[in-house]
Structure 1
């Protein structure tokens, strides 16, 4: 390893393998280490590239001699190997931080507790439709690092989680978007909301007056965070509560997006024309629309794209209508706030499928919506005690189930023609499923077998 920088990549999923391939291309000596088994697809990529790796163990001598370490966002700071790296002052980076060194593309970075996948996909859709040479990455799609290694894009739209932000230092977003800050993953932030909010605000670090910050001014946590910080970038707020002179706002049934940029005409559009319906999606559409206006895309192009977008899988995805009952897959709702948004966009008479690994959830914010819209709750998880305690006075029936097919069968029998069965679990999926995609796919399969 004489003369070569030695980099260790912890975690061999999409982001880790992408980082390893980019590091190799940039002339690093690379070693990949994963405490779990490495999926066949990723193992093959590493083998074909001739990158040395290990699985189901961490060889400390190899890891602790690294010049720097690229860490998977899923590995917590409290993991023993991370503590040892920190003690030795070995720099620990996210894939985004590492890959950002090797591209001059414009970075559009989107974060928030909820809606970031939808907003990232919608923004990418608008830019791609307008003919821009754009890549999609971060917490979604293909590894950003791998794209930097092998593809040449002028723009990247990146979904950025708080875990990624925690290990980003010199990276800068040209356009940053902060959608909302609501309690999520507090177990990773010492159960302190302020720590989690600080993490989200790292999306604006290193921005200058030449950069843009787009944010929801209706969100109390964001507003409070802005008041505490000096923000250098050009700001564009969005709101559904008041009329602004600049940014995006809702007036009646009409959204206006105005950046006052180079004599551009504002974009004015009825919310009925938006492909994404529901209050939360007005926010998501506004954020994406401001990005498009900042990039000087034509109003006609933005309007067409915002009207033609298909939402992502597992996010309020309509599965089927059976015996007059609508089945909706919102498996991506892994926190209470996501479930609140889902319920808020539903008509009354919902059979709600809830449960999984509870991340310290406060179900209180759901109580009013559950009382007004939910006729029964089907629990899908190993430990449903807290759901029973939260809602036993609000609904007539709460039933425990331990598989997607059992949950769907029971929900189907509880529902009547005109009702909606909504899978929106408010919890992580790891007690009964591999991940939220597996949970959503098993739900869809069970629905189609009714």
Structure 2
């Protein structure tokens, strides 16, 4: 990283772009260490205002409703929040002026030199895998926190009087783009498929950012890779490495030679050559969550030599039995009139919805729509035919969903608000059926975020039963 700016007193002002949770935390971290900080955000809402007031009290120069591009161009360093696109004017101004740009995690890592991390990236399953890893590390007796893209900024941990010893660190492609010094104790790649094509110029550019997880690989590195995904196994080549340095082990739903795999005949999860637990004892729905559990268990197993014991195996198994579905990720939210309602609002791309559809085992109505992200929906048709009844296409993407799928499977566009979509789903289902919200789109046409969309789905599912 640009470590020179942290030697002695500041070499100049640090500009922090974006006042969300990560921007606010890193600006506070830098200010408390004596750096001159200018922080700005294009927004003017309550969250930006509250962040501005808090930071101003620490001596940070704060601007909301815009950015001082000339000031940013004079900065010694720019810290970009992951939600700020690379072409945004403040980042463009920094690049044109030759100002280095890093992310919040890059700064936080500087202040957490003793932190051990399990870094998790991939297109889908990152958040669930991160949450399981953190859960397993705590079950193994560690002071461990789930951080990064999962919701807790790493800089927030650095502000603590006693930072944790371990972090299960979810890393998005956006975060990896601006974290040149990332060097996880264990690195995990769940899977790869096209995503964020509304932000990246090409799939190759997106995959290249994922590969940055491996940029500092060395002989002591440990890697957990998906043996069922050829793109994951070859990801290191995108950083110019013929071989990936360090210990490389794999997980698989199909390959019995993988270090962690699913034995479908025995219906059990296997870890390092021995049974871990029966599939029936792991409470999450779908094969994709079995893959997430295998990846997390293998990462915890590899994280420290002390974890590779019979006692640790028992602790890992017990922890998996007690892990529950995260909100908005194939989350059962209730059964009403014999109909199961499943909230997979976090599925904001086609590949994520694909694994949800593949995991369905009962007749269901699929709620598909929102703001289109650039991918065709045709890949959903074949697995949908197995148990799907009808696709309800809604929101801005409805015409595209109907165009892509209408000749392949039953599709019904629904006009109106989200309540109308849910009401139509209820009318089309009966006892033994399910309603699956797995939109394959972002939520921004109707909601502020996928969490709000999922919460409204839960409320509407229960509302007509008198249980809201």
Name the TM-score, length of structure 2 as normaliser: 0.90
Q: Which residue among 290, 297, 303 is the counterpart of 1:289?
A: 297
Aligned residue runs from structure 1 range 93-108, under 5 A: 93-103=102-112, 104-108=114-118
Matches within 5 A, 1:394-405: 394-405=408-419
Is 1:13 aligned to 2:25, yes or no? no
1:29 matched to 2:36? The reply is: yes
Structure 1 unaligned runs (5+)?
259-264
Q: Does 1:233 align with 2:262?
A: no
Map residues 21-420 of structure 1 onto 2, 5 A cutoff: 21-38=28-45, 39=47, 41-103=50-112, 104-150=114-160, 151-190=162-201, 192-226=202-236, 229=241, 230-244=243-257, 247-251=259-263, 252=265, 253-258=267-272, 266=274, 268-294=276-302, 295=304, 296-297=306-307, 298-420=312-434
Classify 1:339/1:95 alpha carbon distance in 2 versus 1 (closer, same or farther; 3 Å). Answer: same
What is the alpha-carbon distance in structure 2 between the residues aligned to residue 375 and residue 173 of structure 1? 44
- Is the 2:393–2:411 contact (alpha carbons within 8 Å) kept by the matching residues of 1? no
CA contact under 8 A between 2:256 and 2:262: conserved in structure 1? yes
- The 3 A distance-change label for structure 1 pair 397 and 384 is closer
In 1, Cα distance between equivalents of 2:32 and 2:182? 20
Would you say the 8 A contact 2:392–2:413 is kept in 1?
yes
- 8 A contact 2:402–2:411 mirrored in 1: no
Q: Greater shift after overlay, 129-138 or 395-404?
A: 395-404
Query: Which residue number corresponds to residue 4 of structure 2?
Result: none
Displacement of 1:170 after TM fit?
1.7
Tell me, yes or no, if the aligned pair for 1:276 and 1:285 is still in contact at 8 Å.
no
Cα separation, partners in 2 of 1:278 and 1:248, compared to 1, 3 Å: same
* Partner residue, 1:262: none
Q: Distance in 2 between matches of 1:48 and 1:402?
A: 45
Q: Deviations over 1:176-225 (max 9, x none)?
A: 100000110023221x2222111111111212111111110110211333
Deviates more, 1:397-406 or 1:344-353: 397-406
CA contact (8 A) 1:278 1:345 kept: yes
Runs (4+) off by over 4 Å: none
SS of 1:358 mapped into structure 2: coil
d(CA) in 2 for partners of 1:101, 1:285: 30
Q: Distance in 2 between matches of 1:223 and 1:107?
A: 21
TM-score, normalised by the number of residues in structure 1: 0.94
Match of 1:401, SS state, is: coil
Q: Secondary structure at the match of 1:49?
A: coil
